[in-house]
Structure 1
Amino acid sequence: MSIPPSSYDDLMAQQHTAAVEVTGAHHSNWNGKMGPTRKVENGVILGTASWDSGVLYDDKYVTGPLKEMFEHKGVQQEQAKLLAYRNALKTVLHENSHMTSAEGTTHADAMHAFQQPPVRALEEGVTEAWSYANLDQYIDKLDLEKIAPGIKEVQGRQSYPQFAPAANALANRIGEVSGVDSNEVLRRMNVVNGAEKWPIATKLVTDAAGLDKIVPPAQLAEATQRVEQAMQAPFGTLADVSKLPADQQRPRSAEIGNEAFDAGQKEIAAIKQEVATTGGLQPKVAEVTAQTDGKKAEATAQTAGADPKLAHAMAMANSGTAPLQGVQAGAASQAAVAAKPAGPAVGRGQGLDRD
């Protein structure tokens, strides 16, 4: 028989181990440090799994209700109180799910990948969808019914309306073709860091399609990447769903989750057609264009007496297919200006906070 936490501090000391046991993750990366979430002008940040492996909780909606729950442990509370306790616990499970990762990895390994909108969308969507659906398991593991009788009888709040429905929809569709229960699909993605979630989802659909038996072994990684990128593209638009009226966000998010799955299936069909017709994957139009532009630029530069290596770097800069570094980049840029007609300058860059 399990023994429930005796206090709020005891609960916090057990939060990560219970999450590992319930999720089936290899380990938690939590370093034992806690603190309050940062304040924002609009809204509230309920919890944060920081990249330095600490967890932060909002005092009013998470820390406060949980402390109160232990102050009145064993006492039947009104529904509003139970909802507050349950919502607070869901945030705790959510943040501790962020902290889990596979063997040999940490959640912080995904810090740079998390800047990519499709990666952030799936990370938050899966984490919220799984935590919401499996909160009762977490409550049972910690034996919290003894602390707050009736806490499993109320329905709490689901966060991330722009992300969670899409993750659920994607998991449901993956489950249909793979034969894996949709909750298990979510769980498998939930226990790896953000950079590894898309590969998990992609492998499930490519295995179900039998791509490893169709695509030449040397091209299987390329085929898999094409499917992953196809599914990621719709997820890259999910952040904009939060701009819709509240009653439209969840339905639209679910639609995008289905669109992502359909995009992956369309790419799989295209890959199968390519292999059936030509025996393998064919270079994309952009790749062929880059190669052609490269040869033309090298020929132009050689005629003008330029260094062939510099000419190749210039060609790749013109085609947009490779990064340039150091002094060579600067020289190549100057050469590119001379070789190309003048046009508008284009710059790209973005960053995302993790909350």
Structure 2
Amino acid sequence: MTTTAVAAHPTSIAELFAQSAETARALAGAEQSAWNGHIIESSSVMLGLAHWDGTLYLDRESIVDPLRHLYEHAGATRPTPTLIAYRESLATLLHEHAHFLGPADATQEAAREAFTKLGSRQLEEGVTEAWAQDHLDDFIHRLGIDKVAPGIDSVRSNGYYAAFVPAVREITTALDARNGFPPGETLSVLNRQTAAGQFPLLVDAVYNSTRLPDLEPPDADTRSRLESILRSGLAHLETYELSPPDLATTNSLATANQVLSHLDHETHTAEATYTLSQPDPCVLPRPTRRIPSPHEAALSGLTPPSPARPSPTLSSTSHPSPSTHHHAHPRSSPPSRQPLARHG
């Protein structure tokens, strides 16, 4: 029987930084992290930055110093504001590491190019922040920080990107329900991708939640229309990025619902083009049997009557008009054939 070695919990900020990337990768279930192992303490308006070259930048005053303080006072009781400061620092650390995650064949070059496209930044930041908020407690427990800072898992912080996160949550939650996925599945799948892979997966989730995969041909352009709706809607969230959090949240949710409504309209319209009722082929009713009249039954099996002889009062050379002749002598079977009997 073999056992897997478990890394000891970090006891210093240096050990925390060394273990944080792999902890985030394992927590997300991603195949790789693009982090190059370097962390630079910065002093800017940005709390953290996952650079395209793989370097992680963290603000010294807001992020690094609280984490250093956390380990310098390991096990001590801390007031709520201090615990919140620790928690926000760890949330930023997890958020930035989530930016580096991707599949084995992902490259930062492709991710960077995709990030510049319409709606990509809003989706990528919204996914990263929402996932980090949802998994922060697990991140803290895996690193043993709940033992270093007792009570840290009992306080909460507000998080960031109020203009992006609510919309991303609303859309991914709806797609979970429509596809029969466990709650949070769509968000987690998107988080394991770089910006280059997120929109294709999101479009697939929308498309596969409908009947279209079984209805339309592979070369249909429905997917491109769905992507256009998603990109335009998510890009619109930038309008609310600098709004107060409550207002940004309200507008973000409203935008998400508009996007979902537009997607529904598009997919229902596409489905209708393949499911319109076709007219049934012309089917004649079955013939009904008519009961013959007594007169018809009496003639059954008898030789039809002979044509009437000309009246003696008429000249033998006179001829009735064609119309009179036609109506006076209905068509009958030849004398050699008996008429078919009608059976009731």
| CA distance in structure 2 between the aligned counterparts of 1:158 and 1:4, rounded to whole angstroms | 25
For the 8 Å contact 2:99–2:194, the answer to whether it is kept is yes
Structure 1, unmatched stretches of 5+, are 280-355
Could you tell me which runs of 5 or more consecutive residues in structure 2 were left unpaired when the two chains were aligned: 1-5, 279-344
Q: Which residue of 1 aligns with 2:174?
A: 173
Q: Is contact 1:124–1:160 with CA below 8 Å preserved after alignment?
A: yes
Within the alignment, does 1:235 sit opposite 2:237 as a pair?
no
Distance in 2, matches of 1:258 and 1:76, equals 44
Q: Deviations over 1:299-328 (max 9, x none)?
A: xxxxxxxxxxxxxxxxxxxxxxxxxxxxxx
1:32 aligns with 2:31: no
> For residues 158-237 of structure 1, what are the structure 2 equivalents within 5 Å?
158-219=159-220, 222-237=221-236
Structure 1 residue 37, shift from structure 2 partner:
4.1
Tell me if structure 1 keeps the 8 A contact 2:118–2:232. Answer: no
Aligned length: 273
TM-score using structure 1 length: 0.73
In 2, Cα distance between the equivalents of 1:195 and 1:264? 22
Q: Distance in 2 between matches of 1:274 and 1:36?
A: 57
Shift of the 64–38 alpha-carbon distance from structure 1 to 2, 3 Å rule, reads: closer
- Cα distance, 1:49 vs structure 2: 0.6
Contact kept, 8 Å, 1:228 with 1:264, in 2: the verdict is no
- The structural deviation recorded for 1:242 is 2.2
Helix, strand or coil: the match of 2:147? coil
Which digits, 9 at most, give the CA deviation of each residue in 1:85-119, with x for residues without a partner?
00000001100000000121134421122112411
Against the structure 1 CA distance between its residues 155 and 268, is the aligned structure 2 distance closer, same or farther, given a 3 Å change threshold? same
Most deviating of 257-266 and 48-57: 257-266
- The match for 2:56 is 55
| CA deviation string 1:203-233 (max 9, x = no partner) | 12211213211111233xx322221211221
3-state DSSP of counterpart to 1:181: coil
What is the SS of the residue equivalent to 2:190? helix
Change (3 A) 1:181 1:240: same
Larger Rg over CA atoms:
2
Query: For residues 46 and 118 of structure 2, what CA distance do their matches in structure 1 show?
Result: 19
Classify the secondary structure of the residue corresponding to 1:149: coil
More displaced, 100-109 or 45-54? Answer: 100-109
Give, as a single letter, the amino acid of the residue that structure 2 aligns with 1:159. Answer: Y
CA pair 92-210 structure 1, distance change in 2 beyond 3 A: same
Instruction: Determine if contact 1:125/1:163 at 8 Å carries over to the other structure.
Output: yes
Offset at residue 243 of structure 1 (A): 4.0
* Paired amino acid for 1:62: I
The answer to whether the aligner puts 1:249 opposite 2:220 as a matched pair is no
SS in structure 2 at match of 1:236: helix
Give how far 1:168 is off: 0.8
Question: What amino acid is the match of 2:102?
Answer: S
Q: Deviations over 1:317-352 (max 9, x none)?
A: xxxxxxxxxxxxxxxxxxxxxxxxxxxxxxxxxxxx
Please list, as runs of the form range in 1=range in 2, the aligned pairs for 1:60-99 lying within 5 A after superposition.
60-99=61-100
Q: Distance in 2 between matches of 1:234 and 1:218?
A: 25
